[in-house]
Amino acid sequence: MLDATEGHTTADGRKIGPVVMEMKNITLRFGGVVAIENISFDIREGEIRAIIGPNGAGKSSMLNVVSGFYTPQEGEVWFRGQPRPPMKPYQVARQGIARTFQNIALFEGMTVLDNVMTGRLTHMKAGLFSQALWKGRAEAEETANREIAERVIDFLEIQAIRKTPVSRLPYGLKKRVELARALAAEPKLLLLDEPMAGMNVEEKEDMSRFILDVNDEFGTTIALIEHDMGVVMDLSDRVVVMDYGKKIGDGTPDEVRNNQEVIDAYLGVQH
């Protein structure tokens, strides 16, 4: 029995809703290499879903399929109850899916505030003419979206650096700014690709707290890839385990932890 079923309330009192995203029999090939082989899993509203697996298991490829960067050869992606036609990444973003990257992909030449404001783009509709004159809709939008951007900045405690160019920031803060940029889009589904890679214990604790807070306060559905098992087991409601492009486990952290196949994949088996 899965912990995060519909209508179920988790131990800490969060509501888990219906399925928002469903991957149905996804197969992704690069030439002869099969990166993902016939994988199905779903993500429910309000949950934190982890994807784990050894290096090269196809986790990032999976995330790239979700965010529209790769189009799978077989299988369907269902989002909010409808099959999603093949679309460009920017169209996926406009559907309300935001993500962060394994290697930070911030806009280095811009300030923190500008980066977060860029995250608001999908909500800004002013025409070129209005923007050129900085009058009417453009100005109103700029102010209204600034307010939301500032709320995200407050939430992630990066007020002091809001006007600092991103290129001057240390690694840990950059990761946080990237989360801010993704959050600013007010996504329905937030994809985090190794949010804690390369961090020390303290930074990991901070980041874990932020992820939990985001999920808790905004009710954002989160799918994340992470290598730190302690973090994954503590944060997530359900875990998908991948190995060599195949799904070898799916369930609550406890179930996955005791799954023989998963243990084999991580520790190796005697042949």
Residues 86, 129: Cα–Cα separation, whole Å: 32
Looking at residues 77 to 96 of the shown chain, list those that interact with other proteins (rule: CB under 8 A).
88-90, 92-94
Single residue of 19, 34, 124, 229 touching other proteins by CB under 8 A: 124
For 228-255, give the secondary structure using H, E and C: CHHHHHHHCCEEEEEECCEEEEEECHHH
d(CA 10, CA 256): 18
**DSSP states of 86-117 as a string?**
P--HHHHHHTTEEE--SS----TTSBHHHHHH
CA 161 to CA 153: how far, in whole Å? 9
CB 20 within 8 A of CB 80: yes
Tell me: does residue 114 bind other proteins (CB under 8 A): yes
Q: Does 98 bind other proteins (CB under 8 A)?
A: yes
Per-residue contact track with other proteins, 207 to 246, x per CB under 8 A? ----------------------------------------
- Contacts with 143 (C-beta within 8 Å, 6 or more apart), sequence order: none
Number of residues that bind other proteins (CB under 8 A): 41
Q: Which of 33, 132, 160, 267 binds other proteins (CB under 8 A)?
A: 132
119 touching other proteins, by CB under 8 A = yes
CB of 115 to other proteins, least distance (A): 8
Rounded least distance, CB 160 to other proteins, Å: 13
The secondary element (H helix, E strand) that includes residue 129 is helix 128-133
Residues that bind other proteins (CB under 8 A): 67-69, 88-90, 92-94, 98-99, 101, 105-110, 114, 117-119, 121-122, 124, 126, 128, 131-134, 138-139, 141-143, 146-147, 150, 181, 185
